[in-house]
Amino acid sequence: MSVTIKSNHEIELMREAGRILAIVHDEIEKNIRPGITTYEIDKIGYDVIKSYDCIPSFLDYHGYPASICVSVNDEVVHGIPSKNRIIREGDIVSVDAGVIYKGYHSDAARTHAVGEITPEARRLIDATKQSFFEGIKFAKAGNHLHDISAAIEDYVVAQGYTVVRDLVGHGIGRALHEEPEIPNFRVRRKGIKLVPGMTLAIEPMVNVGRPDVAWLDDEWTVVTHDGSLSAHYENTVLITDGEPEILSYHK
């Protein structure tokens, strides 16, 4: 399948998917505190998604066993919720969620601080979020896809951090993962030309230490190879005639 351009009607549905997904994230953010388990975070997400008659897109995706990915500290992405995993003061918790509304997907991730965290962890979370916003400054019709990629990496490197290279962002629409792949780092080619109606899930994953990652024996959880902290920030973004529209975001 190639890159899809969404019609106005499809964009309306993706706006609604994104609006609901932002509510899912708000509800999880309100409830994250020391003592909560990652299982309970998943349950909150599942319940909100269902309450809007949406489908949790991650559940059973290639066998993934939950609705939300919850990745703590050195876990980068795809942490599997568990009743045995208790969130503690000082943790940083990356929450990734996806919903399907009337056949259309939205995908977004946030990294939260739990209580008092170290200044370094705070700076990592803020830099990761900002790298997304630096990237989408280039998410405009006529630019090339990898302009976004380069802007993300340049910002992250300037902050003294590294970008994960083994996982990338993606097009999104009727499927969770559509073309194109969206690297969060410079690549040799300039990538496709951006056109209004493209919808992209842009999702920098940023490490304090080395960029290398490893997979745990559960075959899902991605961790930093060196054990350093990692953060993740993602939104579903619409390319327009002017400024990009962030579909999975409010405030």
> Could you give the CA distance from residue 144 to residue 190 in angstroms, rounded to a whole number?
6
Place of tokens 């299982």: 39
User: Which residues face 112 on adjacent strands?
Assistant: 93
Q: Which amino acid is at 24?
A: V
Picked from Co ion, ligand MF3, none, the partner binding residue 251 (CB below 5 to 8 A depending on kind) is: none
Q: At 130, phi and psi to the nearest 5? A: -65, -35
- Cβ of residue 160: shortest distance to ligand MF3, in angstroms? 26
Cβ proximity to Co ion: between 38 and 199 the closer is 199
Interaction of residue 100 with Co ion, rule CB under 5 A? no
Q: At 169, phi and psi to the nearest 5? A: -80, -175
Cβ proximity to ligand MF3: between 106 and 117 the closer is 106
Give me the torsion for CA of 180, 150, 117, 28, rounded to 10°. Answer: -20
Interaction of residue 201 with Co ion, rule CB under 5 A? yes
Interaction of residue 64 with ligand MF3, rule CB under 6 A? yes
- Cβ of residue 58: shortest distance to Co ion, in angstroms? 10
Interaction of residue 61 with ligand MF3, rule CB under 6 A? yes
- Cβ of residue 186: shortest distance to ligand MF3, in angstroms? 21
Cβ proximity to Co ion: between 40 and 178 the closer is 178
Cβ proximity to Co ion: between 16 and 203 the closer is 203
- Cβ of residue 249: shortest distance to Co ion, in angstroms? 14
Picked from ligand MF3, Co ion, none, the partner binding residue 39 (CB below 5 to 8 A depending on kind) is: none
Interhelix angle 8-31/38-51, rounded to 10 degrees, is 140
Interaction of residue 249 with ligand MF3, rule CB under 6 A? no
Interaction of residue 201 with ligand MF3, rule CB under 6 A? yes
Cβ proximity to ligand MF3: between 42 and 245 the closer is 42
The token pair that represents 85 in the structure block = 């995993």
The token pair that represents 238 in the structure block = 């619409």
Which conformational region is residue 198 in: left (phi greater than 0), alpha (psi within -120 to 50 degrees), or beta? beta
Q: Which amino acid is at 142?
A: G
> Could you give the CA distance from residue 156 to residue 209 in angstroms, rounded to a whole number?
12
Residues lying near Co ion in the complex (CB under 5 A) are found at 107, 201, 203
Residues lying near ligand MF3 in the complex (CB under 6 A) are found at 58, 61-62, 64, 69, 78, 96, 98, 107, 201, 203
